[in-house]
Structures are given as structure tokens and as C-alpha cells.
Amino acid sequence: MGFYNPPLENRNPEEYLLMDFNEPPLPPSPEVLEKMTEFFKYHIHTYPIYGDLLEQLGEYVGVPTKNLLLTNGSDQGIDVILRCLLEKGDEVKMALPGFPMFQQIAGTLGCCIDGPQFSRDLTFPHQELKASVNGKTRLIVVINPNNPTGSSVSLEQIEDLLKSFPDIPTLVDEAYFEFSGETSVPFLSSYPNLIVIRTFSKALCMPSLRLGYVISRPEFIKHLQKIRGPYDVNMAAVIVAIEQLKHPEYWQGIVKHLLEKSKPALEKFFDERQVKYHSNKTNFMLVESKDPATTCKFLKDNKILVRQMSPPISHTFRMSLRMLPDMKRFMEVYSRFLKS
């Protein structure tokens, strides 16, 4: 069974520039954090309540609240969906490499995830994925855009999967939706086999509070409610999420900065030095290197953490986009590396 064991230890933000986990570069605004502190002065002794957040999230997503389930990070969304749909021996199809939590959770259920690999230029293997579906397939997973490759899947391709396999649920993981601007949610009215998951960990700046959500038809949401605990989402996450949704201009400003300042500056830097990279619509970049282990070590020795990738993309490392001053620090160190 695959074990997702990310190297979480010794990531001290005082010591290192953290570019290894696709994290947001900044916390929510001081006003938002103030609201959380205020709330906990008086309410830490009561169980969480979710109504206000669900209402607001419904407006943000554009669906009624009965189509939504809050989860403890989208990791828990993956967990409850797979536990609801799979039995031992069932198969899940997904283009590889994808986000490793899918394999880990399927493994605990005695199920196998396999599927075609992304091509060398990292395009989504749409026809190959379709051809891999068989009588044992109980779930198709599409990560759009995909982590770690950054590859986008077109809405036409997603609709084609939903239409071609009406009896098989298709889960679309939209963890990077606020960066890509593309969503499958409108397909919900035509395709009851669609399940979408999203997270507050990326653009909404709150990975440590653990909040994600599932968007699907109400009957399926009801099934998932029986698997998720009634209070699995904590109230700190709820308070911060409500404020983040009320004041989107703050985190949208960060997204805009990353996409319109940090990303072009980094791409220009790599272009000028003939460093190959894979451009995408996320908050991270996949960069090619002749010797990724040495590259990552040089960066780490210079107090920058990036993530070395495994086969079949072991010729790359993955780095998060950060605000421009941090990107400049990366570029200064990387240009020293190129000259070394």
C-alpha cells in the first residue's frame, strides 16, 4: 500500500523559505485573525455550528447548501468519498502521478488506484484514461489542475468522462480552482455522477486550520454525512473561513500578485537562463533539472526548501510561488547555483 509520508519535520519558517508544499505565502489579514481570537474568548466551551458558513459557501460556489459537505481539509473529503463508494477489490482510475492521498486511502480499503501516465510533456492522457475504465472501476478521479504535474484538464474532457460513464462517479479535485478559474460545478445540474472537492488550504490561506468541502447531489451528500463525524470541522476554521469569504479582496490580491507578478518574474528568469519549466494555472511550478537531488540540496543549504519529485517526473522539482521579495531571494540563490 502506498504511504503518503511528506517530509514535514524541520520546516522552520524562521530558518527556511518554504517553497515545498504549495502553501500560501501569507496568513489571512490581521482583522480576520482578530475575529478568531475574539470568538474564542467567549465560545471555546461550545460545539461548532456550521449554518452561517454553509450559507456563505453556497453563495460563493453558486449551489444550495444541500449540495455541500464541510470536511476537515479536502484530505477528509477524499477519505469519506472513497469510504462511501469503494469495497475491497474495487478499482479507481486516475492519471498518474496524482495527489498521493488518493492511493493511501484506497489502499486502506483494499482497493487499487491505477491509470495511464501523463505524457512526457505532461498533457492529460484523456483517451488512455477512458480506455482504462473496466467492469471493476467504481470511481474515476480527475485532479484539475493536477498536483504534482500542474496539468490542466479541459472542461470538454471532464464532460466527456461524465457522459461516457454515467454509472461511475467522477471525482474532480479542484484544490487549485482559485488559481485556474475553471470549475466543473455547472455540470452538476446535468450529471448526477459528478463529485467536486475543494479546499481552503491554497488560495484561502488557511492550511493549518484544515477546511475543505465536497460539492455533489444532495442524496450523495447525505450518504457522506453518515461517514463524516458531526463535529470534524473545528470552529477556528469556520470563523476564519466566514471572514475570508466576506472579504475576498485580501486573498484575491495575493492570488493576483502570485499570478501576475511572481509567476512572470520567475518564468522570465528561467527563460533567460534556458531552464525548462512547466507553466500551469496553480500556485506552484515544476522545474526541470539535470540533477534534482544536487539542486534541492544546494537550495536547502541556502535555506530554501523545494520538493524533489519521484518517477516518472524525477527529472523535476516542484516549488511554490511566493511574494516577489521571496521570489527574488530564490532567483538570487538559483543563479548562484547555475554558475556553480
Ligand X SMILES: Cc1ncc(COP(=O)(O)O)c(C=O)c1O
Residues binding ligand X (CB under 6 A): 22, 73-75, 99, 143, 147, 173, 175, 199, 201, 207, 212
Whole-angstrom Cα distance, residue 221 to residue 228? 10
Q: Residue 206: how many CB atoms within 10 A of its CB?
A: 22
Residue with the three cell numbers 512526457: 120
Report the alpha-carbon distance of residue 270 to residue 273 in Å, rounded: 5
Q: How far apart are CA 33 and CA 202, in angstroms?
A: 17
CA 291 to the chain's CA centroid: 27
The Cα 20–Cα 319 span in angstroms is 6
Looking at the Cβ atoms of 173 and 243, the one nearer to ligand X is 173
Q: State the nearest-atom distance from the C-beta of 24 to ligand X, in Å.
A: 11
Comparing CB distances to ligand X, the nearer of 65 and 201 is 201
CB of 340 to ligand X, least distance (A): 31
In this structure, what DSSP letter does residue 117 have? B
Q: How far is the CB of 152 from ligand X (least distance, A)?
A: 13
Q: How many C-alpha atoms does 315 have within 13 Å on its Cβ side?
A: 10
For the bound state, the minimum distance from the C-beta of residue 226 to ligand X, rounded and expressed in Å, comes to 21
Instruction: List the Cα angle 159/248/154 in 5-degree steps.
Output: 15
Beta strands in 2-111 (DSSP E): 17-18, 68-71, 91-94
**CB distance 170 to 159 below 8 Å:** no
CB of 254 to ligand X, least distance (A): 17
Nearer to ligand X, 73 or 169 (CB): 73
Nearer to ligand X, 214 or 334 (CB): 214
Nearer to ligand X, 65 or 199 (CB): 199
**Whole-angstrom distance, CA of residue 162 vs CA of residue 278:** 28
Residue 22 C-beta: closest distance to ligand X, Å: 5
Q: Residue of minimal CB distance from ligand X? A: 73
**Closest CB to ligand X among residues 79, 243:** 79
C-beta of 22 vs 295, nearer to ligand X: 22
Reference 79, options 54, 99, 50, 108; nearest CA is 108
Name which of 179 and 277 has its Cβ closer to ligand X.
179
| Smallest separation (angstroms) from ligand X to the CB of 85 | 17
Cβ neighbours for 186, distance < 8 A, ≥ 6 positions apart: none
Nearest CA to 192 out of 209, 214, 167 is that of 167
Q: Considering the complex, what minimum distance in angstroms separates the CB of residue 42 from ligand X?
A: 28
